Amino acid sequence: MGDAAKFDPKSLRPATKLVHGGTMRSQFGETSEAIFLTQGYVYDSMETAEARFNGERPGYVYARYNNPTVSMFEERMALLEGAEAARATASGMAAVTAAIMGQLKAGDHVVAARALFGSCRYVVEELAPRFGVACTLVDGRDLAQWKAAMRPNTKTLFLESPTNPTLELVDIAGVAEIAHAGGATLVVDNVFATPLLQKPFELGADCVVYSATKHVDGQGRVLGGVVLASAKFIETHVHNFLRQTGPALSPFNAWVLLKSLETLPLRVAAASANAAKVADWLASRPEVSRTIYPGRDDHPQAALARRQMSGGGSLVAFEVAGGKAGAFAFGNGLSIVKISNNLGDSKSLVTHPATTTHQRLSPEARAEGGITDGLLRLSVGLEDSDDLIADLARAFDGARLRQAAE
Ligand SMILES: *Cc1c(COP(=O)(O)O)cnc(C)c1O
């Protein structure tokens, strides 16, 4: 904690923030951040307990409210994102739910992009309306639709960019302007871009949420989430909601995520470089009818990608010939790339959205979202890119053989 006197951690570059930011050392002077695996705290006197509870003296009270390891993770995330305040949660969905529902009451209206992570769509499309909050879903790519959806009682706008699984982009600055003109806030789910490749606050967002389960952990171990915003936003909308409803991040998981942040820039850079190579290779294959990667010039919104992202990210979507049978034959032929619906992992993972993550959508809704039967989503990991490309090549060769034999 003495470090704070020597430099302003906000002045540091991201890699340094992610190694040192938020560190609090105990009386033992440990090098690595400690896991405070404790539910509660003891007080040296009744007076101290009283002062902690009435807020006269700072300090920890109960792990549902806060915990030193969780605080270190929150502080490190806030420094990275350039946010005044952060609150960690047990999962990404707990973060999304708090950021959205914490702002709303019966009679309010929310506007969201239609292309959302399935559970996020549930929160705005099904959960919020049950409590008297109307919801309008729009094509996130079309600013005119966002504008037309605004009502006098619109309180918040919600989007993710790039989207899952078709990696469409939403003009964050454009939507922020529409939100603010209507007196509403903008919440951005920045999972696919990662905190390193896209800075929603600089583009006008009021609140940024993450599933830390994805690139932040990046090694497929724990669930976690975080809500980042101004101190006022957190105080008004998020703080009490989380304290009283209880989706607290476990101190152990906070420690895993805290240590993961130290290597986040290295991992995101390496995975993104691999993804760019893999995307270029896929685009050259005769079996692939469409390759979608925000870092490629043939992305339908390449100009927007260059404007609001500093890299293409680690996800690639592509469509193989032969529909579902072709996609399955190809997926079953992979051996280094694993079949899994996680993303942002050090292991490369492939998923078939139409039969897994987006299975619940009607065929019409899938078609509207570009989720065809031949579409695959590949989360590129940290393996050697030549090994990945060889694995993909073997799968294409095998799939072609099997198709020919049918
Ligand atoms: C995974 C994910 C979530 C939900 O996160 P969990 O940690 O699984 O609860 C929300 N939004 C996006 C974009 C995601 O990829």
pLDDT digits (tens, 9 = 90+) for 114-160: 999 989 999 999 999 999 999 999 999 999 999 999 999 999 999 99
Q: Are residues 202 and 282 in the same domain?
A: no
287 shares a domain with 139: no
Q: Are residues 13 and 25 in the same domain?
A: yes
Contact 87, 78 (CB under 8 A): no
* Distance (Å) from CA 29 to ligand 1 centroid: 36
**What is the residue with the minimal CA distance to atom 1 of ligand 1?**
211
pLDDT tens-digit series, residues 315-370 = 999 999 999 999 999 999 999 999 999 999 999 999 999 999 999 888 998 988 89
Our answer on whether the CB atom of 191 is closer than 6 Å to any ligand 1 atom is yes
Residue 164 beta carbon below 6 angstroms from any ligand 1 atom:
yes
pLDDT number for residue 8 = 86
388 and 298 within one domain: yes
HSE at residue 31, side-chain half, CA atoms within 13 A, is: 0
185 and 280 together in one domain:
no
- The pLDDT assigned to 400 comes to 76
What is the residue with the minimal CA distance to atom 2 of ligand 1?
211
- Assess whether 138 and 253 both reside in one domain: yes
Which value, in Å, is the radius of gyration of the alpha carbons in the chain? 22
- What parts of the chain have a pLDDT lower than 50? 1-2, 4, 404-406
Among 238, 261, 284, where does a domain finish?
A: 261
Query: 73 with 207, same domain?
Result: yes
**Do 62 and 191 share a domain, yes or no?**
yes
Quick one: 250 and 306 in the same domain? no
* pLDDT in the model for residue 365: 87
**CATH number of residue 225's parent domain:** 3.40.640.10
What is the per-residue pLDDT for 5?
58
b/e map of 278-302 (b: 16 or more CB within 10 Å)? bbebbbeeebbebbbbbbbeebebb
The pLDDT assigned to 7 comes to 74
Q: What distance in Å separates the CA atoms of residue 138 and residue 179, rounded to the nearest whole number?
A: 14
Task: Count how many domains the chain has.
Answer: 2
Q: Are residues 170 and 315 in the same domain?
A: no
- How far apart CA 174 and CA 160 sit, in angstroms, is 14
Predicted confidence (pLDDT) per residue in 268-283, tens digit: 999 999 999 999 999 9
Pocket test for ligand 1, best of 214, 345, 358 (most atoms within 8 A of CB): 214
Q: Please say which residue of 219, 234, 261 terminates a domain.
A: 261
In a domain, 113, yes or no: yes
pTM score of the predicted model: 0.96
- Cβ of 92 closer than 6 Å to ligand 1, yes or no, is yes
pLDDT for 188 equals: 98
Residues 138 and 105 in one domain: yes
Q: CB count, 10 Å around CB of 6?
A: 7
Q: Which of 210, 235, 261 is the last residue in one of the domains?
A: 261
The reply to whether 341 falls in a domain is: yes
Nearest CA to ligand 1 atom 6: 92
> Domain holding 330: CATH number?
3.90.1150.10
Domain that holds residue 359: 264-405
Instruction: Give the HSE-up count for residue 193: Cα atoms under 13 Å, Cβ half-sphere.
Output: 28
Q: What is the best residue among 93, 163, 315, 349 to mutate for testing ligand 1's pocket, by most ligand atoms within 8 Å of CB?
A: 93
Say if residue 274 is in the same domain as residue 254.
no
CA atoms within 13 A on the CB side of 232: 2
* Beta pairing partners, 291: 318
Q: Ligand 1 centroid to 218 CA: how many Å?
A: 13
pLDDT for position 1 = 45
